[in-house]
């Protein structure tokens, strides 16, 4: 099994990897399908199902779908160009994707939110259609946004296709047990094995440049979040807090009476800065999702800025280790809040961040696995119940607490020998089973939990 570090960490746009980035990617794939078709389409239509319908407006799914059909992609997203395109589409009722004729598309009539039962394959389903001059469908495809920006067609999902379609890699571990056994046999760390796998597919230079860009985008996002202020969009009137907290922390530096637990505020502020940017539709890195995008960058920033001996030279080791853990979770359970609740998003992110921190602080393979297990175990059962379908409450603060848990998990693991009672594989399987049994009201539908018990208007 191989999932690249660039599969687990994608540069994209907020507020949601599954509800914003996924539909945009699906629309781009459908454009390619139309370009390859033997006939000329005159228009396009779309219908959103399951969680994409119930929380679609709050997650900007409608906006993402429209922009995707107009040819926009998450990793090259230009906010000003997107705003101009949306205005023109609503006025002229057509999209203008490259390589295709102008296509009729009236957002009010041709984009449908279907609040009936979800499609069979996944909670995040959408159907895209190309139409002829009479408005009849001449090409149709069903897509599922399965979390973290990953998209599969109905046929791909049914066939069990995954993202591992390339040449064999040196260390193809599918479970944590296999990963540790390969590490013991080879004498390599998790990051070294992951690096060998990455190089075998994409080359050393691509890996180096790609990892540098990932951290640059993550850190730039933190920096923007620490200086931007005001009210977040969506109607909840949630005010940005990261800037104010950061300024207060800077003012307190050097004071003799500062409490030791203030370090938690630093960690939380870094995470909140990212997720406030995400909520505002800014550029983020899925880690492994947008809703959990603040956890891992916050832990990395904490390590670089506050831990003696931290080095920029170890960023690659951190991200490769984290990606290895994230790949195991995605392969054996889920990183989708619509499929398994927030345990699959912030829980997975905390496990990844804990593993990365433990590794760069000198942890053994066994300690790294233990760190990931501790972090994931103590997010089990966490629901996804965003108020008004927005990635704001409780999502922004939840990233801060997830980052704190990740640091604590790494610290506990480093204090031990690596021996522990619950294996990471067992925690991952428990998360999968818990997600399967969780009521759909608590899986990113905004039909239960805080979403109905907190006034949102």
Q: Residue 160's pLDDT is what?
A: 76
Q: Residue 1's pLDDT is what?
A: 84
Architecture of domain 17-159: 2-Layer Sandwich (3.30)
Segment 51-71 shows an average pLDDT of 95
Reply yes or no on whether the pLDDT at 457 is more than 60.
no
Tell me the per-residue pLDDT of 196-228, one tens digit each, with 9 for 90 and over. Answer: 999 999 999 999 999 999 999 999 999 999 999
Q: Residue 455's pLDDT is what?
A: 79
Rounded Cα gap, residues 49 and 435, in angstroms: 19
Segment 291-310 shows an average pLDDT of 98
Where in the chain are all domains bearing CATH 1.10.4100?
176-453
Tell me the per-residue pLDDT of 6-53, one tens digit each, with 9 for 90 and over. Answer: 999 999 999 999 999 999 999 999 999 999 999 999 999 999 999 999
Where in the chain are all domains bearing CATH 3.30.1330.90?
17-159
Q: Residue 161's pLDDT is what?
A: 63
The band of 336, judged by pLDDT with boundaries at 50, 70 and 90, is very high
Reply yes or no on whether the pLDDT at 312 is more than 90.
yes
SS3 assignment for the chain = CCCCHHHHCEEEECCCHHHHHHHHHHHHHHHHHHHHCCCCCCEEEEEEEEHHHHCCCCCCHHHHHHHHHCCCCHHHCCHHHHHHHHHHHHHHCEECCCCCCCEECCHHHHEEEECCCCCCCCCEEEEEEEECCCCCEEEEEEEEEEECCEEEEHHHHHHCCCCCCCCCCCCCCCCHHHHHHHHHHHCCCHHHHHHHHHHHHHCHHHHHHHHHHHHHHHHHHHHHHHHCCCECCCCCCCECCHHHHHHHHHHHCCCCCCCCCHHHHHHHHHHHHHHHHHHCCCEEEECCCCCCCCHHHHHHHHHHHHCCCCCHHHHHHHHHHHHHHHHHHHHHCCCCHHHHCHHHCHHHHHHHHHHHHHHHCCCCHHHHHHHHHHHHHCCCCCCECCHHHCCCCCHHHHHHHHHHHHHHHHHHHHHCCCCCCCCHHHHHHHHHHHHHHCCHHHECCCCCCHHHHCCCC
Token pair of 53, please?
Answer: 């319908």
Q: Residue 243's pLDDT is what?
A: 98
Reply yes or no on whether the pLDDT at 272 is more than 90.
yes
Tell me the per-residue pLDDT of 385-434, one tens digit each, with 9 for 90 and over. Answer: 999 999 999 999 999 999 999 999 999 999 999 999 999 999 999 999 99
Q: Residue 264's pLDDT is what?
A: 98
Q: Residue 334's pLDDT is what?
A: 97
CA-based angle 387:389:394, to the nearest 5? 40
Give the other-Cβ count within 10 Å of 419's Cβ: 8
Tell me the per-residue pLDDT of 148-168, one tens digit each, with 9 for 90 and over. Answer: 999 999 999 998 765 456 789
Rounded Cα gap, residues 338 and 68, in angstroms: 21
Average pLDDT of every residue of the chain: 96
Reply yes or no on whether the pLDDT at 67 is more than 90.
yes
Q: Which fold has domain 176-453?
A: 2-methylcitrate dehydratase PrpD (1.10.4100)
Q: Residue 162's pLDDT is what?
A: 54
Q: Residue 165's pLDDT is what?
A: 62
Tell me the per-residue pLDDT of 100-144, one tens digit each, with 9 for 90 and over. Answer: 999 999 999 999 999 999 999 999 999 999 999 999 999 999 999
Segment 187-194 shows an average pLDDT of 98
């Amino acid at each position: 099994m191989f999932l690249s570090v660039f599969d687990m960490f994608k540069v994209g746009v907020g507020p949601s990897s599954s509800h914003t980035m996924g539909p945009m990617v699906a629309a781009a794939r459908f454009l390619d399908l139309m370009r390859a078709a033997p006939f000329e389409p005159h228009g396009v239509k779309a219908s959103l199902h399951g969680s994409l319908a119930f929380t679609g407006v709050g997650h900007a799914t409608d906006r993402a779908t429209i922009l995707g059909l107009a040819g926009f992609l998450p990793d090259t997203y230009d906010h000003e160009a997107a705003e101009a395109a949306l205005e023109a589409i609503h006025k002229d009722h057509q999209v203008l994707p490259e390589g295709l004729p102008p296509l009729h598309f009236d957002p009010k009539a041709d984009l449908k939110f279907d609040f009936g039962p979800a499609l069979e394959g996944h909670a995040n389903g959408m159907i895209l259609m190309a139409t002829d001059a009479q408005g009849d469908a001449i090409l149709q495809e069903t897509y599922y946004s399965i979390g973290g920006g990953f998209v599969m067609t109905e046929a791909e999902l049914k066939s069990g296709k995954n993202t591992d379609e390339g040449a064999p890699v040196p260390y193809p571990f599918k479970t944590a047990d296999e990963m540790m056994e390969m590490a013991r046999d080879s004498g390599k760390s998790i990051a070294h094995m992951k690096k060998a796998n990455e190089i075998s597919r994409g080359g050393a230079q691509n890996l180096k440049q790609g990892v540098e860009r990932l951290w640059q985008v993550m850190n730039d996002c933190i920096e923007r979040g620490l200086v931007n202020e005001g009210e977040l969009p969506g109607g909840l009137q949630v005010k940005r807090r990261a800037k104010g907290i950061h300024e207060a922390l800077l003012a307190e530096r050097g004071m003799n009476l500062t409490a030791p637990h203030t370090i938690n505020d630093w960690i939380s502020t870094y995470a909140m800065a990212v997720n406030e940017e995400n909520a505002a539709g800014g550029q983020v890195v899925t880690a492994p999702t947008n809703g959990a995008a603040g956890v891992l960058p916050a832990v990395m920033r904490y390590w670089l800025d506050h831990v003696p001996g931290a080095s920029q030279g170890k960023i690659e080791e951190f991200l490769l280790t984290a990606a290895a853990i994230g790949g195991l979770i995605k392969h054996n359970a889920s990183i989708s809040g619509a499929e398994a609740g927030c345990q699959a998003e912030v829980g997975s992110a905390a496990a990844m961040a804990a593993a990365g921190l433990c590794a760069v602080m000198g942890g053994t393979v066994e300690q790294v696995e233990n760190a990931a297990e501790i972090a994931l175990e103590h997010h089990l059962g966490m629901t996804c119940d965003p108020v008004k379908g927005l990635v704001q409450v409780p999502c922004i603060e939840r990233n801060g607490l997830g980052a704190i848990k990740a640091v604590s998990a790494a610290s506990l693991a480093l204090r031990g020998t690596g021996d522990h009672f619950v294996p990471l594989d067992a925690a991952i399987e428990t998360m999968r089973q818990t997600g399967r049994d969780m009521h759909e009201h608590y899986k990113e539908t905004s039909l239960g939990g805080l979403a109905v018990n907190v006034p949102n208007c």
